[in-house]
Structure 1
Amino acid sequence: MSSPHRPGPTASDPARDPAPPHDVSPEDVAPDGLLPATRRALLHRVAVEQAEGRAPSVVGAVMRGGRMVWSGARSGVAGEVPDAETQYRIGSITKPFTAVAVLRLRDEGLLDLADPLERHVPGTPVGEVTLAQLLSHTAGLAAETPGQWWERSDSALRPDLASVLGAAPVLHPAGRRHHYSNPGYTLLGSVVEAVRGAPWAEVVREEVCLPLGMTRTTARPVAPHADGWAVHPWADVMLPEPARDLGVMAAAGQLWSTAADLCRFAAFLARGDERVLSADSVREMRTPGAPPEPEGWDAGYGLGLQVVRRQGRTLTGHGGSLPGFLAGVWLSTEDDVAGVALANATSGPGTGVLAADLVRIVAEAEPRVPEPWRPLTEVDPALLDLTGFWYWGTAAVVLRLAPEGWVELGPVDGGGRGSRFRPEGDGTWRGLDGYYAGETLRVVRHEGAVSHLDLGSFVFTRRPYEPHGSVPGGVDEQGWRALP
């Protein structure tokens, strides 16, 4: 480590207090704490990864309900005792931070994700690719830079974007497939700098990290921090890894962070923070933006975030690696639990699997307790009259009121097409998710009475093929009949 162990937890830091006695009852555990058996299972999992992965050190942490509720570490090097405030290099977990910076500019109206790169960073050979394609790794760009292994070589070898892209930066047609690209995120860092007029690292720290309380996330290491090591594959000996400054490639993997700070970031990715990005914008980040590879239908990529299916659970987050370091952070929004894992080894420990397992352990041992049902405190009678059965042709759907003041429209049995809708303030409703995401729902009235619902040209009536002329193509005048 770079400096002696920090002081231990204090009474004012409940997330890091020692576990309660083994005879404690669940009711005696703080609402944001974990049961002793769960804490032991988490520490055991971290210990197994450190031992079997032959890592100098491993730190794990869990976020639940918006805050870190557990952290633990194991170290095999004398004098190195890391904790949740020890910095590790997080490699490509830097990419979600770059994505947040880009989306902030979008939400401020300073750019559009459909903008071609040329509009903001002119003069590159890939100016026609869009910002959305760069964010989702669908721009077709090469995975790495030309020349020497950029993560371990001097950044002076790549002084500008031309040296990052090289003579043949495009491998696939833009928009056709997901192909992970570090140079693509370098371009996004240049977009941030061009539009904001400030260095990428400054923008990320001032606009993302500090508002979220992530004071230990920095572009350069700040003590106490771990040193990076390579562990010999066939002998228990180590070699120090160089901690190179990435220069122009910084937006793809420069950051250092801690388990505690990454728990704060995971909490932000779960629910948003209006000081940084809204809940709608972080939900957009978590939504896959490209089809997965044929061999990986359980994995995808959103806007700066990986999306995977693991043991029946959808996880969003990112993995990271640089010589000497491995990192992983995974979030289950359904369980409101995130796992963080950091290690200072070039290879060996599976930090991504470990982070996912920390989520699983907590979610299975202490399932999320749902919020109690509560009746609405007020309701618009005209809106209440819209609830109940509607028919698209002969298919029955149900419109329900949601607690947020939204409405939900979906099949009676819960399968098939359905979405939540948010009021737009002009009498219409905008689809938030599912098949009708982005579509407009309108209530059509005739002589003051509700005639039907119009949803993207689909007509929903109170009775199947109601004979009042609102159904496209009309309804047979003889109506429903039995056949002789």
Structure 2
Amino acid sequence: FTAVLVIRLRDEGLLDLGDPLEKHMSGTGAGEDTVAELLANTSGLAAESPAPWWERTSGGLRPEIADVLGEQPFLHPVGRRFHYSNPGYTLLGALVEKLRGATWEEVLRREVLLPLGLDRTSVRPEAPHAGGWAVHPWADVMLPEPSEDLGRMAPAGQLWSTAADLARFAVFLANGDDRVLSVETVREMHMPAAPAGMADLADGASYGLGLQIQHRDGRLLVGHSGSLPGFLANLTIGVADDVAAVVLANCTSGPLLSVVGADLVRIVAEAEPRIPEPWRPMREADSASLELAGQWYWGTNGFALRLTADGFASLEPLSGAGRRSRFPANGDGTWTGLEGYFHGELLKAVRRPDGSVDHLDLGSFVFTRQPYDEASSVPGGVDPEGWRGIG
């Protein structure tokens, strides 16, 4: 939730993810961290605030940012490794407050909870609600857990919610909602932002801009887990399957909920095949764009360029394996890559003086209608003797 608030600031032009925190908040002691590093947990900050344990004590013990970070906030070089940091998200919550001129709770309610209809999600519990319990590991007895107002640390995870509300939030994280974040922006959150192979991450897992990413059973799963004494929570979204799982438990410890969530997504996806969306044509056919559709070659690598009803151009390798991307139209006859290797790269048609298409240019890569087409502007030229056999 806090990541969504921060990325909204970026989309509104109030900050850049590459900005150092010091640009917007001075004197934090962690000003060299960028906004992106805080979001991706590559800030180098400690995992927790100084003792006593913040999840089981009043936020009144940590009224200032300095109380959250302590005297030595950094454990690792900035930007070099993934290390989950709750104080890092406290800093992001404070950043939201600074740029919005309101409390984190007020901004969250106004910008996310109300637009998405999350009526049963709140910073403090609202009746009726489950109590949090610790279950003795060696006896069938329980102990009630305290419920604390975490103060400064609240942006790191103090929220009460329901399965229904989290299911609605899952729809937003999968498809976006222009009242909060566009679909393009939420897909950006799905992209790995932390270095791969970090010891803090499970095999096959990575971390995006505020979201945990894992690959299980051939599926890309995004979401997040969370816990406070007496409670466990997980939200897992199977992006391609359009299936989400919400797992909630009112106990301090239990099964690994990310595995439970992934299993639920798999079970539903395998048992309930998706109904394909009905085919729809484009609203208008642009002849200048339409002549670009079809087969193209980057050197000898074959690609298919398709124009889709959503206004995108889709470039895919004919072999089925290799670099691919979708390209939203820019409105001037060019497109910009949305994902993968070509993310952010410009795709354009290069025309001859007579107006005919010579080739496609994609980030300096030249795509021609035939492999090394001698009639087109191939970098370095084509051997004048052309294609030949071995004889």
Given the two structures, how large is their TM-score scaled by the length of structure 2?
A: 0.95
Alignment correspondent of 2:13: 109
* CA distance in structure 2 between the aligned counterparts of 1:312 and 1:469, rounded to whole angstroms: 40
- The alpha-carbon deviation at position 343 of structure 1 amounts to 1.1
1:169-248 equivalent positions in 2, closer than 5 A: 169-248=73-152
* CA distance in structure 1 between the aligned counterparts of 2:238 and 2:74, rounded to whole angstroms: 34
Aligned partner of 1:298 among 191, 204, 208: 204
Code of the aligned partner of 1:319: S
Indicate how the Cα distance of structure 1 residues 469 and 334 shifts in structure 2: closer, same or farther if over 3 A, else same: closer
**8 Å contact 1:232–1:238 — kept in the other structure?**
yes
Code of the aligned partner of 1:247: G
**8 Å contact 2:283–2:309 — kept in the other structure?**
no
Code of the aligned partner of 1:298: G
- The alpha-carbon deviation at position 349 of structure 1 amounts to 4.2
Deviations 1:375-416 (A, max 9, x none): 445422232221222121222222112221211112111211
* CA distance in structure 2 between the aligned counterparts of 1:349 and 1:175, rounded to whole angstroms: 32
* CA distance in structure 1 between the aligned counterparts of 2:325 and 2:266, rounded to whole angstroms: 28
Code of the aligned partner of 2:80: R
Given the two structures, how large is their TM-score scaled by the length of structure 1?
A: 0.77
Aligned partner of 1:446 among 352, 358, 361: 352
1:409 aligned onto 2:320: no
Alignment correspondent of 2:36: 132
Alignment correspondent of 1:318: 224
1:142-153 equivalent positions in 2, closer than 5 A: 142-153=46-57
Specify the SS of the correspondent of 2:170. helix
Alignment correspondent of 1:471: 378
Alignment correspondent of 2:252: 346
* CA distance in structure 2 between the aligned counterparts of 1:412 and 1:281, rounded to whole angstroms: 28
Code of the aligned partner of 1:180: Y
**8 Å contact 1:343–1:349 — kept in the other structure?**
no
Alignment correspondent of 1:37: none
1:307 aligned onto 2:213: yes
* CA distance in structure 1 between the aligned counterparts of 2:198 and 2:91, rounded to whole angstroms: 27
Code of the aligned partner of 1:418: R
Aligned partner of 1:357 among 225, 248, 263: 263
**How many pairs does the alignment contain?**
388
Specify the SS of the correspondent of 2:55. coil
Identity of aligned residues (%): 65
- The alpha-carbon deviation at position 250 of structure 1 amounts to 0.7
**8 Å contact 1:228–1:240 — kept in the other structure?**
yes
Indicate how the Cα distance of structure 1 residues 275 and 143 shifts in structure 2: closer, same or farther if over 3 A, else same: same
1:393 aligned onto 2:324: no
Code of the aligned partner of 2:229: P
Alignment correspondent of 1:423: 329
Aligned partner of 1:384 among 290, 294, 302: 290
- The alpha-carbon deviation at position 477 of structure 1 amounts to 2.6
- The alpha-carbon deviation at position 230 of structure 1 amounts to 0.7
- The alpha-carbon deviation at position 303 of structure 1 amounts to 0.9
Ranges in structure 1 where 5+ consecutive residues have no aligned partner: 1-96
1:480 aligned onto 2:384: no
Aligned partner of 1:154 among 35, 58, 64: 58
Alignment correspondent of 1:456: 363
Ranges in structure 2 where 5+ consecutive residues have no aligned partner: none
Deviations 1:233-254 (A, max 9, x none): 1111111111011111110011
* CA distance in structure 1 between the aligned counterparts of 2:123 and 2:58, rounded to whole angstroms: 16
Alignment correspondent of 2:155: 251
- The alpha-carbon deviation at position 352 of structure 1 amounts to 3.0
Deviations 1:428-453 (A, max 9, x none): 11001121011000100111111111
Deviations 1:289-336 (A, max 9, x none): 113335634111111111112222221111111011111111112111
Specify the SS of the correspondent of 1:126. coil
> Cα RMSD between the aligned structures?
1.5
1:168 aligned onto 2:72: yes
Code of the aligned partner of 1:365: A
Greater relative contact order: 1 or 2 (C-alpha under 8 angstroms, separation 6 or more)? 1
Code of the aligned partner of 1:315: L
Alignment correspondent of 1:370: 276
* CA distance in structure 1 between the aligned counterparts of 2:136 and 2:119, rounded to whole angstroms: 34
Specify the SS of the correspondent of 1:342. strand
Greater CA deviation, 304-313 or 293-302? 293-302
Indicate how the Cα distance of structure 1 residues 465 and 350 shifts in structure 2: closer, same or farther if over 3 A, else same: closer
* CA distance in structure 1 between the aligned counterparts of 2:5 and 2:283, rounded to whole angstroms: 38
1:328 aligned onto 2:234: yes
**8 Å contact 2:282–2:308 — kept in the other structure?**
no
Deviations 1:332-391 (A, max 9, x none): 121111111111111124433333333222212112111233444542223222122212
**8 Å contact 2:245–2:265 — kept in the other structure?**
yes
* CA distance in structure 2 between the aligned counterparts of 1:401 and 1:157, rounded to whole angstroms: 58
- The alpha-carbon deviation at position 142 of structure 1 amounts to 0.8
- The alpha-carbon deviation at position 471 of structure 1 amounts to 1.4
- The alpha-carbon deviation at position 112 of structure 1 amounts to 0.8
